[in-house]
Amino acid sequence: MTDISNNRPSKASLVLAYLLVYIIWGSTYLAIRFSVETIPPFFSGGTRFLIAGLILLIGRSLHSGLKTTLQGWKYAFGASLLPFVITYGLITSAERVVPSSLAALLISIEPLWFCVIGWLFYNGGRPTRLHYLGIFLGFLGVFILVKGDPNADFSFKSAYLFWVLMLIVSGLTWVIGAFISRNPKIHEDSLMSSGMQMLCGGAVMMAIHFIVSAFTGDYQSISAFSSKSIYALLYLITFGSLVGYSSFLWLMRVEPANRVATHAFVNPIVAVFLGWLIGGEPLGLYMLVSTPLIIASVVLMIWQPKKRSS
C-alpha cells in the first residue's frame, strides 16, 4: 500500500485499509491473551515489533530504494514510546488478568480521547452536545462493564481493578501516540515510518524485559513457551503489525483522525465474539448491556452531521 500524501487515495484502497484495521485488530486481543499465557508480555511485544519492523523496513527499502535519516530515527524513537512500549506493554500485561473481550471494550472508548485530545492540542473541532452525550454513554458502559464483572474487586489491593484502570489509560496513551506517530519528519513514506517506529518500540520493550529479568533473576526459558502462544505471536507479527498497524498508520495520514477511530466501533464486537467462540470467555448480561452503550458512544463521538446548505 503506497503512501499517497499529495493525491486522494482510491476508494478501494481506503475500504481495504479500513476492513483490515476493523477485523484484524479486533482479533488481536484474543491473540495477545494466547501469547502472554506462556510468553512474558514485554518479550512478546519486543519480539513482535522487532521482527515486524525489520521485515517492513528491509522489504520497503529493497522495493523502493528509500533511505532513512538520523533525524528520522530520533523522531521515530520518540514516537514509538507511547503506542508501543507503554500502550502495548499495558495491554499485554493486563491481559494476563483481564479477559480479552473485556479489554477490547475498555479500550474502545478511544474515540473519546481522539475527540478531546484532537480538540485541545491538534486543532480539532470543539466537542458538540452529541460528543458530550457520547462521553456520558461511554463512561456509563464502562462502569456497567466493570461493576458487573464477577471477577471485579474494587478494593485498593486488587490487581484486577488496577489492570482494568491501566487498560483505560492505555486507550489515552494510544491516541496521543497515534497523533505523534503521523509526524512526516519520521519519513515521508508511511510504511517506512511504520517500520522505523516498530523497530524502535520493539528494541525498547526487549531491553525492558531483559533489565527486569536481570533485576529479578527470573529468566524464562523459550522451551517453556507453548505452541499456542508461539502461533499467536506469529499471527500478531504478520497480521497485527505488518498488515494492521501499517494500514492504520497510512489511514492516519490520509483520513481524518476521528474517522480512523471508527475501528473502535468494530474491534470490540469482533473481540467479544472471538473471545466467546474460541477463547471460552463468558458472555454475561453485564457485557450484553455495556456493549451497545459503548458502541453508541463511539458512534456519537465520530458522528458528523451534514451542514445545511444556505
Chain-wide mean pLDDT for the chain? 84
The rounded distance, in Å, linking the Cα atoms of 155 and 178 is 33
Half-sphere exposure of 183 (CA within 13 A, CB side): 18
Identify which of 43, 24, 23 has the alpha carbon closest to the alpha carbon of residue 230. Answer: 43
Contact 101, 275 (CB under 8 A): yes
* Residue-wise pLDDT tens digits, 143-174: 787 777 676 665 666 678 888 889 989 988 98
Q: Coil, helix or strand for 84?
A: helix
Contact 44, 233 (CB under 8 A): yes
- The model's confidence at residue 94, banded by pLDDT at 50, 70 and 90, is very high
The rounded distance, in Å, linking the Cα atoms of 295 and 271 is 13
Contact 258, 115 (CB under 8 A): yes
* Residue-wise pLDDT tens digits, 166-205: 998 998 898 888 888 878 899 988 889 889 999 999 999 9
> What is the structure's pLDDT at 220?
75
Helix (H) or strand (E) holding 249, with range, is helix 246-254
- The end-to-end CA distance of the chain, in Å, is 39
Q: Domain-by-domain residue ranges, the chain?
A: 11-302
pTM higher than 0.75, yes or no?
Answer: yes
Per-residue pLDDT for 308 more than 60?
Answer: no
* Residue-wise pLDDT tens digits, 233-284: 999 999 998 888 878 878 877 887 767 877 877 888 888 888 888 988 877 7
- Per-residue cell: 122: 491538534
> What is the structure's pLDDT at 157?
65
Contact 286, 147 (CB under 8 A): yes
For the beta carbon of residue 246, count every other beta carbon within 10 angstroms. 23
> What is the structure's pLDDT at 186?
93
Q: How far is CA 67 from CA 6, 64, 75, 186, in A?
A: 20, 9, 15, 11
> What is the structure's pLDDT at 124?
67
Let me know if 151 is exposed, middle or buried by CB neighbors in 10 A (0-12, 13-18, 19+): middle
